Structure 1
Amino acid sequence: MDALARNNVSVTGPADAQPLLFVHGFGCDQNMWRYVAPAFTADYRVVTFDLMGAGGSDLSDYDPERYSTLQGYAEDVLAVCEALDLQDVVFVGHSVAAMIGVRAVTTAPERFAAMVMVSPSPRYIDDDGYVGGFSEQDIHELLDSLDSNYLGWSSAMAPVIMGNEDRPELGQELTASFCRTDPEIARKFARVTFLSDSRDDLPAVSVPTLVLQCTNDVIAPVQVGEFVRDAVPHATLTMLEATGHCPNLSAPRETVAAIEPFLRTQAPTRR
């Protein structure tokens, strides 16, 4: 199937400008970038799309084996790049999409100029000398709860993930997004997400990388952002004042303001 149709690809901005490829996280869709991506359409070719199982993606093309690892989603990223003939791409990934981006960039480094990782985590489970934020028991209990009652899990967890208790509408939006995602695919993607370990892949990232880290993020604590910064050879870490796990929704202006200088200095436009 055509990659542009399969993943409901949207393209805005000048056709001859440098591409910015925005990829959303678990339980979300490209709509989660609606406050960030438009800020770049004057100077960049902005590409957004839906990961398989989310938004307007074509569920008839879902292959459980292909999407049993993050590499399957990375192959979709590369298929979109190929379909649009994108070069010098700046990959902007939120949450697990940052690690999908790591796989895409290390698989086809010639296509990419830079990366922006928003609230990334290469491993959610604590390990010897590594703080991921969760014990192994925590993650398995989370996945068991998700398996038994996905909608109930979404209603309970989305506001916690979003944070910003003083702005309940944000948690409500994330809950609605979770509930729109195909439940069966979401269950499988959750296991791929929360049981993955991308730590060994980080040193192979060869492009300049910006890590955006929120304060008080229950999904990706500060130690995780610091780990990613230290593991990626050409990475810088910017701490945001934003709290929670989704600054693209809760603090889009601050997110844009952090990305813009990185693009100017590390991935200048070709126009």
Structure 2
Amino acid sequence: MSITASVKQKNNVHVTGNESAAQTIIFGHGFGSDQTAFAPIVKAFAADYKIVLYDNVGGGKADIDAFNPSRYSTMQGYVTDLSDIIRALQLSDVIYVGHSVSGMIGLLTANKYPEYFSKLILLGSSPRYLNDIATGYTGGFDMETLNSLYSAMSTNYYAWASGFSALVMSNPDQPHLAEAFAATLSAIRPDIALSVAKAIFEMDHRQDLALCTIPSLVVQTSDDVAVPGVVGEYLQQHIPDSQQVNVQATGHFPHIVAPEEVIRAIRSFIQ
């Protein structure tokens, strides 16, 4: 198997859109989600851009045997995966759209390999989910809350997945959206989900924001229980060449609940 084929299989990589286009958009999904979450957004850019979709190891249809708790105990394992995908497909001048944790994965990869990237779009992303009393930083969670979350995941994962999905989707008038997220979340092996959740919720990449040299767009909703509005403001203030757009939507999934607004924001930023 060639390196390109093994990378594609590992991360369930799909190349679509206009494959002869000058520029490529890569979409990276958040925890518990997969590449299918971007379907409405992809459709809007498919005519003018090459599109690359992939699943993070530990989720979606990525190779489950590739998951190693040590490798993915920090974001660096995912950074290596993303850079491997870019190299295997021989991409440059990439526009990267990352939801939630993949926003940080994109930024960290761009810090390490700035020559691969032209723009970053961070959808509901956070550099740190834990509050930091010492510095006055609000991330949205305290350790007690996280320990309760881990306990619920360990006790009855599928019940937790159902409740968590409704909470973070935060659109009770559209229950099918939370149900779809619950399905992809429930498809993850519970021990892997717990390992990944700990790596994400306890990360701290605030110091990496100032190192970013790629023009960035921060997309924030209102009432995001995972990433409060102050976190979006923090990103915009600490990423040097960045701007922020607040979309008229609630919850943690702007690309799912308000795709047209997200499409407009991305189009305006990259054109």
- State the TM-score, normalizing by the size of structure 2: 0.95
What is aligned with 2:88? 83
Corresponding residue number in structure 1 for 2:231: 224
- Partner SS state of residue 180, structure 2: helix
Q: 2:97 aligns with which of 86, 92, 105?
A: 92
State the partner residue of 1:28: 33
Write out aligned runs for 1:192-207 (5 A). Answer: 192-207=199-214
Match of 2:164 in 1: 157
Shift of 1:223: 0.1
SS of residue in 1 equivalent to 2:245:
strand
Gap regions ≥5 residues in structure 2: none
- Equivalent in the alignment of 2:142: 135
Give 1:5's aligned residue: 9
Give the alignment of 1:27-46 within 5 angstroms: 27-46=32-51
State the shift of 1:54 in Å: 1.4
Contact 1:25 1:96 in 2 (8 A): yes
- Structure 1 residue 13, shift from structure 2 partner: 2.0
Match of 2:114 in 1: 109
* 2:123–2:219 CA contact under 8 A, matched in 1: yes
Q: 1:28 touches 1:181 (CA, 8 Å); kept in 2?
A: no
1 CA distance for matches of 2:230 and 2:263? Answer: 23
**Residue of structure 2 equivalent to 1:209:** 216
**Offset at residue 193 of structure 1 (A):** 0.7
Is this contact kept in 2: 1:215–1:244, CA < 8 A?
yes
Percent of pairs with identical residues: 39
- Cα offset, 1:166, TM superposition: 1.1
Tell me if 1:68 matches 2:73. Answer: yes
The CA deviation at 1:132 is: 0.8
Tell me how far 1:147 sits from its aligned partner: 2.2
Does residue 122 of structure 1 match 2:135?
Answer: no
Indicate the residue corresponding to 2:18 in structure 1. Answer: 14
Structure 2 match to 1:267: none
How far, CA to CA, are the matches of 1:216 and 1:62 in structure 2?
33
CA–CA distance in 1 between the matches of 2:151 and 2:219? 30
Contact between 1:13 and 1:42, CA under 8 Å: does it hold in 2? Answer: yes
Q: Which runs of 5+ in 1 are unaligned?
A: 265-271
Counterpart residue identity of residue 18, structure 2: P
Question: Separation in 2 of the partners of 1:226 and 1:140?
Answer: 27
CA shift for structure 1 position 22: 0.1
Root mean square deviation of aligned Cα: 1.1
In the aligned structure 2, how far is the partner of 1:143 from the partner of 1:110?
38
TM-score by length of 1: 0.95
2:248 maps to 241
